[in-house]
């Protein structure tokens, strides 16, 4: 048991060394992707929504390639999963609401 405990320190140090490059990459992308929109982003968001509505009215969605449609479906599933995770965190329970 003592030999096992004596090995924990070097193993933890090595685990931190191995995880540091991946954590740095994650933090680099998290600073860009996970920031909330700024007031400067509002016109761009509005034009995107207007383009989306115009495309839905004109039927432009029918010309979407299969690859892009598949990617859109995956993004939709990801957003729904994050919504579900947020709901579970918010209500502090996995199933149902306390009524």
**What is the spatial distance between Cα 31 and Cα 16, in angstroms, rounded to a whole number?**
21
What pLDDT digit, counting tens, does each position of 30-81 carry? 988 888 889 999 999 999 999 999 989 998 889 989 999 999 999 999 999 9
Beta carbons within 10 angstroms of residue 64's beta carbon? 13
91 within 8 A of 99, measured Cβ to Cβ: no
**Between residues 48 and 97, which one has the greater pLDDT?**
48
Express the helix, strand and coil content of the chain in percent, nearest 5 each: 85, 0, 15
pTM of the model: 0.51
User: Alpha helices, DSSP H only, in 34-95?
Assistant: 42-58, 66-91
């Amino acid at each position: 048991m003592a030999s096992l405990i004596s090995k924990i320190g070097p193993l933890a140090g090595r685990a931190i060394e191995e995880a540091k490059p991946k954590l740095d990459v994650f933090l680099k992308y998290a600073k860009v992707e996970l920031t909330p929109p700024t007031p400067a982003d509002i016109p761009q968001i509005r034009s995107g929504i207007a383009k989306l509505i115009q495309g839905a009215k004109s039927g432009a969605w029918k010309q979407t390639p299969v690859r892009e449609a598949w990617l859109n479906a995956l993004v939709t599933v990801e957003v729904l999963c994050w919504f579900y995770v947020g709901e579970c965190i918010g209500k502090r329970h996995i199933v149902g609401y306390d009524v």
